[in-house]
Chain A
Amino acid sequence: MATLAPPRRSPLSQALAGARHMAEDTSTIWSWLATVDHKRIGVLYGVSAFIFFLAGGIEALLLRTQLVVPENDIIGADAFNRLFTMHGTTMVFLVVMPMSSAFFNLMVPLLIGARDVAFPRLNAFSYWTFLAGGIFLNASFFTGDLFSGELGAPDGGWFGYAPLNLPEFTPGHGMDFWALGLQMLGVASLAGGFNFIVTILNMRAPGMTLFRMPVFVWMTLVTSFLIIFAMPVISVALFELTFDRLFDANFFNPDAGGNPLLWQHMFWLFGHPEVYILILPAFGIISEIIPTFSRKPLFGYPFVVFSGIAIGFMSWGVWVHHMYTTGLGTIANSAFGVSTVLIAVPTGVKIFNWLGTLWGGSIRLRAPMMFAIGTVAMFTIGGLSGVTHSMVPSDYQQQDTYYVVAHFHYVLFGGAVFALFGGIYYWFPKFTGKLMDDMLGQIQFWLLLIGFNLTFFPMHMSGLLGMPRRIYTYDSDMGWNLWNMLSTIGAFTIAVAVLVFMVNFVISLRNGKASGKDPWDGRTLEWSIPAPVPHYNFAQIPQVRHRDDFWHQKYQEDEEGNVVPIVAGAAIAPDAPPGGHDDHDEEEHHDIHLPSPSYFPLIASLGFPLIATGLIYDYALVPVGATLVLVGLFGWAMEPATEEE
């Protein structure tokens, strides 16, 4: 590549090279803006997603405050509708998805023995576009008349059903921000999806065959395929909606021959795979945690992997179960009813395999393990209430009631969020060299478990007692009072648990106990390298000989499966200081070529919110944004990936 560089440098390219060098000093803010290091991008994803988590959580607390007693009027109907729309949109697109992306970014290269992802700058572009979309979406709050207490946020629900999503019924710009913001988030997800597919298929260390990959990597692969096939569907729907709203098209306008159910089909054809996009990374995380803390390999690795793949395929054939009550007829409802009961099977297989991993283990109930077991238990409840939903005629009663709200919070909070917390406790030491405080972790776990069940279990009851979703008020004689009171108390308990987590995170970051490189007696490659992870990850690309390769560097099995340590003492004290032979002097690794920082992904991403703002308010901004995107992409294409000295 150096041979292609022109002999003479223009002032512009010199300035660019200067800016790049500035970004190479990792202590500056510039280094964060221009970073292409998968670990730093992972941190950015995680921190951003957590901030959005706090925003979505505050929205939830406001909703629960409004519903604490019947006939309450604390925030009122308008704010309530906007807040539940933003709560759902935020938690799905700005919290669970990007938090999963954070783990993909942080962990996938380390788990497959790579130095970075396949397309580091595309990775940066994915992050900045996500951030732009998230901020743009939330900026909609300020388009109302804030001084009179009117929020401008979207008010069509996170599902944005037609024709309610048309300007005739949802005036104001909230839904425009929603459609265009989600469009940006789709671009970000697609970029990430392609990146991780190529990374996983092409960048594995020698010997890391597909069936030696950690389950988390498998789940990332399945999720990434789901993303690249599902996102275009919602993108088309959102484009059509944008045309309906901004340019008076009639895709969803029944008065002009448009079809409102078309929106539902597209939304849920995206939306059901999306459910698995949210949960499969969590399954991957606990499939790493449970074996490590049971000190046993995952029970039935092939079954867990294949059931994940089966879920990926089957997730495309169940979307109508979100539409049982739209009147599609007996044949459609029967077919999708049967496919829906069957998708419970591969999910159940995973649960039994995790329990099989616990069986006969030597279980260490540290904080990550508590969250992982909590995930199994809570997801099971959500999965089983899902089975009751799949029974079409009985779902006619439950559809759009709080029973559904209970169901998917058990799946997405009890499943995904618990697992994500577990993942943070598990891998925190790898990136900081410090352990998170276990006692605080246990306190957080129990507070979260109790608060979570207190919030969402009563929703089964209020739902079966006939309480519909998305109502800002209810009469006192409906029998829902107690359940709503309990849910609100639970919601604030969850808030306390989250505060405990934040305190723990900050304390541990500052004064956490030194972890060494392998605090949990880990099984996979990431534990073989120093903590914090050096910027080049692996001094030498490892040669992989086994599934759970690092474990096999420490132990071996005799014929009966009994364990014999290879190096005396390697397994005895998990907190022992790192003594592996990987810790060579860093001086030796100056020859490792890593991609140079680049500002161009950020520049390209900044163009999108400008285009979107222009479409809504003033077309003059559109060419400005488009120019920025083009400049970003052009510069990105022209600059060398690695700057040679």
Chain B
Amino acid sequence: MSSVRRHAPRIIPAAALLILLGLLLSGCETDTPQNTFDAQGEVAKDQRDLFYVAMWPAIVIMIGVLGACVVLALRFREKDPNSLPPKQIHGNTRLEMMWTILPALLMLGMAVPMVAMIYEQGEDPDEDAYYIDVTAQRYSFTFEYPDIVDDQGRQLFVPAEPHIPAGREVVFRLHAADVIHSFWLPKLGGKLDVVPGETNVLVLKADAPGTIHGQCAEYCGLDHANMTMIVHVDSEEDFAAWVEEQSAPPPAPANGDDGEETEDGG
């Protein structure tokens, strides 16, 4: 019961709390490839703002409860080990009703913007939305553009580093070739699982041209860690040019019209 031991606890939690808060806040300003705070599209921005709706009250309550733990433990510390027990308080119904009902109201209040956003983000895509079929297989994503066909009407297949237009909704139709994966481009929006036997649809919209990093977010086996992707966001003009480039017949020397190749298109 030395005085050192009694005073040390005062400083340590307070310091720890400050450090933790500092760490939390510093995260908001880091510009890193998959930073969910650094949103580059409407969906990701809305989701980040909704996170703040929960995070700020949570931080306030956390400081309150942690502070109460420390303050109460020190304030009501036993002074005399030979003292009788203090007054026996068995409860206070009014107080307890209050701390049942108020949190319930707070929670329900938070649920309102949540449900609103679930429905908003679940709406059908815009008329001019651009459709892309994504197939996830161990351990890569491949992208097919139903609108990009060559002069024979065959669909083109884009292996890596796909392009999408900025300022326009893009509809990713997700197909799984083997196990469950999760399609995630953090700066554009939250993830959606790719489930075998189902076609999930994720609608994202990028604000401006740039490069977006993404990664499989559902454990899918040995090389899950390396199932990454890069998506290029182009301006409408650049995207049109890229589509043109893709649609052009390949400059390969053997340019015969092989009918067999149509089989591979799907």
Footprint of B on A, CB under 8 Å? 77-78, 81, 155, 157, 161-164, 169-170, 254-255, 259-261, 294-297, 299-303, 325-327, 329-330, 333-334, 337-338, 341-342, 344-345, 348-349, 351-353, 355-356, 358-365, 373, 376-377, 380-381, 384-385, 387-388, 390-401, 442, 446, 450, 453, 457-458, 460-461, 464-474, 477-480, 521, 555, 557, 560-565, 571-574
Q: Is the CB of A468 within 8 A of B215?
A: yes
B118 x A376 contact (CB < 8 A): no
> What residues make up the interface of B, taking CB atoms closer than 8 Å to A?
5, 9, 12-13, 16, 20, 23-24, 27, 30, 32-37, 44, 46-48, 50-51, 53-55, 58-59, 61-62, 65-66, 68-69, 72-73, 76-79, 81-93, 95-96, 99-100, 103-104, 107-108, 110-111, 114-115, 117-119, 121-122, 138, 178-180, 182, 184, 186, 189-193, 195-198, 200-201, 213, 215-226
State the Cβ distance, A327 to closest chain B Cβ, in Å: 4
Contact partner of A169 (CB less than 8 A), chosen from B12, B82, B221, is B221
A391 near B100: Cβ-Cβ < 8 Å: no
Inter-chain contacts of B119 with A (CB < 8 A): 330, 334
Taking a contact as CB atoms under 8 Å apart, the answer to whether B23 and A359 are in contact is no
Contact partner of A78 (CB less than 8 A), chosen from B73, B192, B218, B222, is B222
The 7 closest A-B pairs by CB, nearest first: A396-B190, A466-B34, A479-B32, A471-B225, A300-B91, A327-B200, A254-B197
A401, B30: Cβ atoms closer than 8 Å: no
- Which of B34, B111, B219, B225 has most A Cβ within 10 Å? B219
B217 & A294 in contact (Cβ 8 Å cutoff)? no
What is the minimal beta-carbon distance from A467 to any residue of chain B, in angstroms?
Answer: 7
Bound state CA distance, A461 and B121, in angstroms? 26
Contact of A301 (CB < 8 Å), options: B55, B73, B90: B90
Give Cα A181 to B60, complex, Å.
44
Q: List 29 A-B contacts (CB under 8 A).
A: A157-B219, A164-B221, A260-B197, A296-B86, A299-B89, A325-B192, A334-B119, A341-B110, A348-B103, A351-B65, A355-B65, A355-B72, A359-B72, A361-B72, A362-B78, A365-B77, A376-B65, A384-B58, A390-B54, A391-B54, A392-B117, A393-B121, A397-B36, A397-B190, A399-B182, A442-B5, A461-B27, A468-B216, A561-B87
How distant is A369 from chain B, measured CB to nearest CB, in Å?
8
Q: How far is the CA of A97 from the CA of B149 in the complex (A)?
A: 58
A157 to chain B, nearest CB (A): 5
List, in ascending order, chain B residues with CB within 8 A of A397's CB: 36, 44, 47-48, 51, 186, 189-191
Cβ 8 A contact of A376, one of B69, B81, B83, B180: B69
Contact A394 B95 (CB under 8 A): no
Q: Out of A157, A364, A563, A572, which one reaches B78, CB within 8 Å?
A: A364
Residue in A closest to B223 when the chains form the complex, CB atoms = A77
State the Cβ distance, B21 to closest chain A Cβ, in Å: 10
A410 to chain B, nearest CB (A): 11
Check A77 against B225 for contact (C-beta < 8 Å). yes
Beta-carbon nearest neighbor of A346 in chain B: B100
> Nearest chain B CB to A414's CB is how many angstroms away?
12
Chain A residues with Cβ below 8 Å from B37 are 464
Residues A164 and B220 in contact in the complex (CB < 8 Å), given A337-B114, A342-B104, A393-B47 = yes
Instruction: Say whether A345 contacts B217, CB under 8 Å.
Output: no
Nearest to A294 among chain B residues (CB) is: B76
For A453, the closest partner residue in chain B by CB is B16
A355 to B69, CA, bound (A): 7
Q: A345-B104, A471-B225, A560-B87 are in contact. Are A396 and B198 (CB under 8 A)?
A: no
Asked, given contacts A164-B219, A337-B114, whether A362 binds B83 with beta carbons under 8 Å apart, the answer is yes
Residues of A within 8 A of B115 (CB): 334, 337-338
Q: Which residues of B contact A562 (CB under 8 A)?
A: 87
Bound-state Cα–Cα, A469 to B35, Å: 15
Contacting pair B182 A325 (CB below 8 A): yes
Min CB gap A347→B, angstroms = 9
B107 near A341 (CB under 8 angstroms)?
A: yes
Q: Which of A163, A326, A461 contacts B23 (CB 8 A)?
A: A461
Are A563 and B88 in contact, CB atoms less than 8 angstroms apart? yes
Complex CA–CA separation, A395 to B253 (angstroms):
51
**Does A300 lie within 8 Å of B114, measured CB to CB?**
no
The answer to whether A396 touches B189, judged by C-beta atoms less than 8 angstroms apart, is yes
The answer on a CB contact under 8 Å between A478 and B62 is no
Closest to A450 in B: B16
- Residue contact B114 to A344, C-beta cutoff 8 Å: no
Pair A465/B34 contact, Cβ less than 8 Å: yes
Given contacts A301-B91, A397-B48, contact A344 B103 (CB under 8 A): yes
Chain A residues in 8 Å Cβ range of B92: 299-300, 356
Distance between Cα atoms of A376 and B48 in the complex (Å): 28
A329 and B90 alpha carbons, distance in the complex (Å): 46
Q: A355 to B68, Cβ gap below 8 A? A: yes
Min CB distance, A43 to chain B, in Å? 31
Enumerate chain B residues within 8 angstroms of A380, measured Cβ to Cβ: 61-62, 65-66
